[in-house]
Amino acid sequence: QPEYDFAVIGHPISHSRSPDIHAEFARQTGISMQYGRIDAEPDQFEETVRQFFANGGRGLNITVPYKERAFDMAQPHLSQRAREAGAVNTLWVKDAMIHGCNTDGVGLVRDLNRLGTLRPGIKILILGAGGAARGVVGPLREQGCGLLMIANRTFSKADTLVKEHIALHPQDTGVITACSLNDPRLEQDWDLIINATSSSLGGATIELPDMAFGNDTFIYDMMYGAKPTPFLDYAARHRKLAMADGLGMLVCQAAESFRIWHGIEPAVDAVIEQIRMQLVAHVR
Ligand code: NDP
């Protein structure tokens, strides 16, 4: 028997905050659970997942680089959100079958609503067209935005993402569009700019035309850390804007996984503050 019944699995995994977040949710809701970390070598992922569930494990979170492989493992028991994202970050077993969902998009939407940034008809610019962008387009669109533009360094990836979305939702033609990072259409006053690239990880930022930063533009970077990310720093140099990093998204996507596994939706505000304090204490 493993010493925990829930875990996050990835490679590497030591940096993951998920065990701390789920421990807080368990304390808050009075649910008894043990949540561990599993570092799976690339040739061991599927076997490790099967063994975990065969030994009585109840739920897994999946992180980089295994979300697409988790998607394949949960076929055909995938939620609509997982199908749209083409990736899975939450697994559980029901009737002896592995089921999968993707909670990243719900997590981002919950955080943006918590921050008061989503209103019907707003213009949203997403930077990046990788796995993270793919997971959030559907849930964001459901909130009723007026325009959702996906700008990516490699245009073809943004184009494919949009075409696949439109194939499932033809009514979104013209509302969701793709462009490159130097498209003149970026020169407009956005209500919300979401950085879903991994550029901040390498210390770089995405440069945007001045006009993209209006007086009321909200800036969101999916990356998070103890300090403002390079993209948030860059945006703040343009003008004093409201902004947030992706720690809230991380906690909110975990809350949605917790709800799937336990049927209870935990409160997130205090947990976000607590994990923030841990991050800051860690770099001191
Ligand atoms: P992927 O590797 O799938 O995609 C990376 C994306 O970033 C691509 O669109 C890539 O463009 C772009 N990119 C990378 N470097 C640069 C650069 N220097 N300039 C311009 N574009 C660049 O990564 P993910 O989508 O999985 O993750 C993206 C980010 O989101 C990461 O920082 C990750 O930590 C964060 N994330 C946060 C979550 C949270 O809960 N807060 C959840 C999931 C992700 P191209 O296609 O041209 O290569």
Query: Rounded to whole angstroms, what are the CA distances from 17 to 34, 76, 146, 200?
Result: 14, 29, 34, 19
CB atoms within 10 A of CB 63: 19
pLDDT at position 2, please? 63
Q: Mean pLDDT, to the nearest integer, of 75-101?
A: 96
114 and 48 belong to one structural domain = no
Residue 220 has a pLDDT of: 98
Residue 215 CB-density burial (10 A; 0-12 exposed, 13-18 middle, 19+ buried): exposed
For β-strands 97-101 and 90-94, DSSP reports them as antiparallel
Q: How far apart are CA 255 and CA 259, in angstroms?
A: 6
Q: Is residue 109 domain-shared with residue 172, that is, in the same domain?
A: yes
DSSP-assigned letter for residue 170: G
Whole-number pLDDT of residue 17 = 95
Residues 237 and 170 reside in one and the same domain: yes
Whether residue 163 is contained in a domain is answered as yes
Q: Is the pLDDT of residue 263 over 60?
A: yes
Query: Domain containing 122 — which CATH number?
Result: 3.40.50.720
Residues placed in the known binding site? 16-18, 63, 89, 104, 128-132, 152-157, 222, 224, 246, 253
pLDDT band of residue 28 (cuts 50, 70, 90) is very high
In a domain, 141, yes or no: yes
Residues 92, 84: Cα–Cα separation, whole Å: 19
Domain identity same for 260 and 199: no
Average confidence (pLDDT) over 203-223: 94
Q: For residue 9, what are the β-bridge partners?
A: 38, 62
Q: What is the arithmetic mean of pLDDT over 38-60?
A: 97
Asked whether the predicted pLDDT for residue 283 surpasses 80, the reply is no
Q: Which of the listed residues 15, 22, 103, 153 should we mutate to test ligand 1's pocket, taking the one with most ligand atoms within 8 A of CB?
A: 153
**Pocket around ligand 1 at a 6 A CB cut-off:** 104, 128-133, 152-154, 157, 196-199, 201, 204, 206, 222-224, 246, 249-250, 253
**In this structure, are 115 and 96 located in the same domain?**
no
Digit-coded pLDDT (tens) for 95-151: 999 999 999 999 999 999 999 999 999 999 999 999 899 999 999 999 999 999 999
Domain count, the chain: 2
Check which CATH number belongs to the domain holding 30 and give it. 3.40.50.10860
What's the DSSP call for residue 171? Answer: G
**pTM, entire model:** 0.96
Instruction: Give the residue numbers annotated as catalytic, written as ranges.
Output: 67
Q: Which residues are annotated as a binding site for shikimate?
A: 16-18, 63, 89, 104, 224, 253
Whether residue 1 is contained in a domain is answered as: no
pLDDT at 229 over 60: yes
Same domain, 117 and 236: yes
Decide if pLDDT at 221 tops 90.
Answer: yes
What is the mean pLDDT of the segment spanning 10-35?
96
Q: Which of 73-77, 197-201, 270-274 has the lowest mean pLDDT?
A: 197-201
Residue 109 domain boundaries: 105-245
Q: Note whether 117 and 77 are same-domain residues.
A: no
Residues 238 and 271 in one domain: no
